[in-house]
């Protein structure tokens, strides 16, 4: 219980800070909407083509938006020199990881919740289905689990905005492929059974990287 | 709060053969140090001597490369979280979030430190640093000096028994420094253990009972205030850090 109370304190601090500045949600949302609109103009002619390319567009957009958002996860801690303040508190390093991860997850889900209906309208596709929402939530969990770890790693480097995507994208390729394939099937109206192999891959990725990131975060932050 | 549960028989700090390396660079080269409860120890040394690294290891921010460290009788390797309850760190930075108010900052840290009766304690420490009227202002809007006072309030929240002060005069002005010292001495019946690193020989001599000089990751001199005046300390410093 104590673990979760402190996790929530860190997440709440991030939410409060974000509510004051709207630094992450506002800028990432603008980026997301711009990308969706640009792709809509680029592929807007044929509905058949749209069904084919929409899953890729959706996940490219969310992947880049996610990197922008995750880049900001540890930067305020570093810029305000508060990371050491957290590290000297009587909490395990894992509390910091989970607290920061939940904050990033919340911000990403808010951005996706706003972007998905707009995507549905612009591309005229049934994006707001239970299948696609499930894929989005599970993919975002894995994405943020890895991203939070690499964000902590990149924040100590000089070119942190460059370092994060370079480290991060090769690792998240499997979950993005899984998400694109599962989304493609969902948009084609396939049943849950057809999606299940891809959902299992996404679920396995989430489980593995949540555990691995949780376990190695201490070394990343201390060394 | 476990910050008040001290083990009276144990030393405040006990360090044996402590080394810390960053790649090939050895920042601490076999430090041996015993500090009793209630002692105020000042560590002098030039830039790059290893003062901040030593404080970071003692405050559990960094892991030692080798050697053993125990704080209040607790081994640092196995009891880092428990040790953090007992120490307070004042460093160059304030560790405060600019977008939150002073109260929100203190509340956030008091949650992480498991401070009981949070609201009352926040008002107590705010009163100690004369910040009560500014508690609901955002930290980003406060002057540097006021932020420094708030940083002192933050570090006093959980009543630490061991205070680590890493060159606080670079982050604290004269007024804030006096306030910190007064606040450290004012609270609690038992004397706090204080470990201070500084470049300022005069200030250090004034504050510390025991004086150490660290150079190239080693303790190269040890003396006491009773046995030294400023000229003697300056001479010892020059002699110890030469070459």
For B29, phi then psi, to 5°, come to -120, 75
B103 touches chain A (CB under 8 A): no
Closest approach of B88 to chain A, Cα-based (Å): 8
Task: Tell me which residue in B97, B98, B113 faces A13 most closely, judged by beta carbons.
Answer: B97
Cβ separation A16–B104 shorter than 8 A: yes
Task: Tell me which residue in B2, B59, B96 faces A88 most closely, judged by beta carbons.
Answer: B59
Task: Tell me which residue in A9, A20, A92 faces B81 most closely, judged by beta carbons.
Answer: A92
Q: How many residues appear in chain A?
A: 223
Cβ separation B112–A89 shorter than 8 A: yes
Compute the CA torsion angle B206, B212, B216, B220 (nearest 10 deg): 130
Residues A136, A108: Cα–Cα separation, whole Å = 10
Closest approach of A192 to chain B, Cα-based (Å): 43
Domain CATH number, residue B232: 3.40.50.300
Q: Are B225 and B211 in contact (CB under 8 A)?
A: yes
Residues in Cβ contact with B146 at an 8 Å cutoff, skipping those fewer than 6 apart: B131, B134
CA angle, A102 then B92 then B238, to 5°: 145
Task: Give A-chain residues touching B21 at CB under 8 angstroms.
Answer: none
A25 touches chain B (CB under 8 A): no
Using CA coordinates, name the residue in chain B closest to A18: B99
Closest approach of A97 to chain B, Cα-based (Å): 14
pLDDT at residue number B12:
93
DSSP letter (8 states) at residue A44: T
Instruction: Kindly state whether residue B122 falls inside one of the protein's structural domains.
Output: no
Task: Give B-chain residues touching A6 at CB under 8 angstroms.
Answer: 111-112
Element (H, E) at A100: helix A93-123
Residues in Cβ contact with A222 at an 8 Å cutoff, skipping those fewer than 6 apart: A87, A93, B61, B62, B63
Q: Are A51 and A187 in contact (CB under 8 A)?
A: yes
Instruction: Kindly state whether residue B143 falls inside one of the protein's structural domains.
Output: no
B1 touches chain A (CB under 8 A): no
pLDDT at residue number B2:
43
Residues in Cβ contact with B112 at an 8 Å cutoff, skipping those fewer than 6 apart: A6, A9, A10, A86, A89, A90, A91
Instruction: Kindly state whether residue B219 falls inside one of the protein's structural domains.
Output: yes
Instruction: Kindly state whether residue B73 falls inside one of the protein's structural domains.
Output: yes
Task: Give A-chain residues touching B98 at CB under 8 angstroms.
Answer: 80
pLDDT at residue number B37:
92
Scan for tokens 């009227």, then name that residue.
Answer: B133
Residues 89-148 of A with CB under 8 A from B: 89-92
Residue pLDDT tens, chain A, 223 long: 689 999 999 999 999 999 998 888 899 999 999 999 998 888 776 777 888 889 999 999 999 999 999 988 888 888 888 999 999 999 999 999 999 999 999 999 999 999 999 999 988 888 889 999 999 999 999 999 999 999 999 988 888 888 888 989 999 999 999 999 999 999 988 999 999 999 999 999 999 999 999 999 998 888 7
Using CA coordinates, name the residue in chain B closest to A220: B62
Cβ separation A90–B84 shorter than 8 A: yes
What is the ipTM metric for this complex? 0.89
Closest approach of B199 to chain A, Cα-based (Å): 22
Cβ separation A9–B100 shorter than 8 A: no
Please return the burial class of B67, using the count of CB atoms within 10 Å of its CB with bins 0-12, 13-18 and 19+: middle
Task: Give B-chain residues touching A85 at CB under 8 angstroms.
Answer: 93, 95-96, 109, 154
Instruction: Kindly state whether residue B117 falls inside one of the protein's structural domains.
Output: no
Residues A185, A180: Cα–Cα separation, whole Å = 9
For B4, phi then psi, to 5°, come to -95, -10
Task: Give A-chain residues touching B84 at CB under 8 angstroms.
Answer: 88-91
A75 touches chain B (CB under 8 A): no
Residues in Cβ contact with B164 at an 8 Å cutoff, skipping those fewer than 6 apart: B55, B58, B59, B87, B88, B89, B90, B195
Using CA coordinates, name the residue in chain A closest to B104: A13
Residues B8, A219: Cα–Cα separation, whole Å = 33
pLDDT at residue number A75:
87
Task: Tell me which residue in A20, A91, A222 faces B99 most closely, judged by beta carbons.
Answer: A20
Q: Are B106 and B126 in contact (CB under 8 A)?
A: yes
Q: Residue B214: which domain range?
A: 9-92+162-241
- For residue B155, the Cα-to-chain-centroid distance in whole angstroms is 9
Cβ separation B112–A88 shorter than 8 A: no
Task: Give B-chain residues touching A103 at CB under 8 angstroms.
Answer: none
* CA distances for A114 relative to A35, A60, A119, A139, A194, angstroms: 14, 16, 9, 17, 27
DSSP string, chain B: -GGG---TTS-SEEEEEEEEEETTEEEEEEEEEEE-TT-EEEEE--TTSSHHHHHHHHTTSS--SEEEEEETTEETTT-HHHHHHHEEEE-SS----TTSBHHHHHHHHHHHTT-SSHHHHHHHHHHHTT-GGGTTSBGGGS-HHHHHHHHHHHHHTT--SEEEEESGGGTS-HHHHHHHHHHHHHSSSSPPEEEEEES-HHHHHHH-SEEEEEETTEEEEEEEGGG--HHHHHHHHHHHH--
Give the HSE-up count for residue A164: Cα atoms under 13 Å, Cβ half-sphere. Answer: 27
Instruction: Kindly state whether residue B67 falls inside one of the protein's structural domains.
Output: yes
A86 touches chain B (CB under 8 A): yes
Using CA coordinates, name the residue in chain A closest to B58: A88
> In chain B, how many domains are there?
1
pLDDT along chain B (243 residues), means of 10: 53 95 93 93 93 95 94 93 94 92 97 95 93 94 90 93 87 75 67 88 87 94 86 86 73
Smallest CA-to-CA distance from A165 within A147, A182, A149 is with: A147
User: How do residues A162-206 score in pLDDT, each as one tens digit?
Assistant: 888 898 999 999 999 999 999 999 998 899 999 999 999 999 999
Smallest CA-to-CA distance from A105 within A146, A156, A77 is with: A146
Instruction: Kindly state whether residue B131 falls inside one of the protein's structural domains.
Output: no
pLDDT at residue number B3:
45
pLDDT at residue number B9:
64
């Amino acid at each position: 219980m104590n673990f979760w109370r402190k996790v929530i304190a860190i997440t709440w601090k991030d939410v409060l800070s974000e509510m004051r500045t709207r630094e992450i949600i506002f800028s990432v949302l603008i980026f997301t909407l711009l990308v969706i609109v640009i792709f809509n103009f680029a592929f807007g002619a044929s509905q058949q083509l749209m069904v084919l390319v929409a899953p890729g567009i959706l996940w490219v957009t969310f992947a880049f938006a996610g990197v922008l958002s995750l880049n900001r996860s540890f930067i305020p801690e570093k810029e305000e020199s508060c990371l050491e303040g957290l590290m000297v508190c009587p909490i395990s390093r894992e509390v910091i990881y989970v607290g920061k991860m939940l904050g990033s997850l919340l911000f990403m889900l808010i951005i996706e919740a706003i972007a998905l209906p707009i995507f549905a309208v612009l591309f005229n596709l049934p994006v707001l289905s239970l299948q696609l929402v499930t894929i989005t939530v599970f993919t975002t969990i894995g994405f943020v689990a890895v991203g939070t770890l690499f964000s902590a790693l990149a924040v100590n480097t000089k070119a942190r905005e460059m370092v994060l995507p370079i480290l991060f994208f090769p690792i998240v390729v499997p979950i993005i492929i899984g998400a694109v394939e599962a989304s493609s099937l969902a948009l084609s109206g396939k049943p849950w059974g057809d999606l299940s192999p891809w959902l299992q891959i996404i679920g396995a990725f989430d489980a593995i990287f949540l555990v691995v990131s949780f376990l190695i975060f201490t070394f990343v932050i201390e060394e | 709060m476990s910050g008040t549960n001290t083990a009276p028989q144990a030393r405040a700090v006990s360090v044996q053969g402590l080394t810390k390396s960053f790649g090939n660079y050895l920042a601490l080269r076999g430090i041996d140090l015993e500090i009793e409860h209630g002692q105020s120890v000042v560590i002098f040394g030039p830039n790059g001597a290893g003062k901040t690294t030593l404080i970071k290891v003692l405050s559990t921010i960094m892991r030692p490369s080798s050697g053993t460290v125990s704080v209040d009788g607790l081994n640092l390797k196995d009891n880092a979280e428990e040790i953090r309850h007992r120490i307070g760190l004042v460093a160059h930075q304030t560790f405060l979030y600019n977008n939150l108010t002073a109260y929100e900052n203190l509340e956030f840290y008091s949650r992480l430190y498991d401070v009981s009766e949070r609201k009352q304690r926040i008002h107590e420490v705010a009163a100690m640093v004369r910040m009560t009227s500014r508690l609901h202002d955002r930290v980003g809007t406060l002057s540097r000096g006021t932020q420094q006072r708030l940083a002192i309030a933050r570090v006093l929240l959980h009543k630490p028994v061991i205070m680590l002060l890493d060159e606080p005069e670079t982050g604290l002005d004269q007024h804030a420094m006096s306030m910190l010292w007064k606040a450290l001495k004012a609270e609690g019946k038992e004397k706090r253990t204080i470990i201070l690193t500084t470049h300022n020989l005069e200030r250090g001599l004034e504050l510390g009972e025991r004086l150490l000089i660290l150079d190239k990751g080693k303790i190269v001199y040890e003396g006491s205030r009773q046995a030294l005046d400023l000229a003697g300390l300056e001479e010892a410093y020059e002699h110890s850090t030469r070459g």
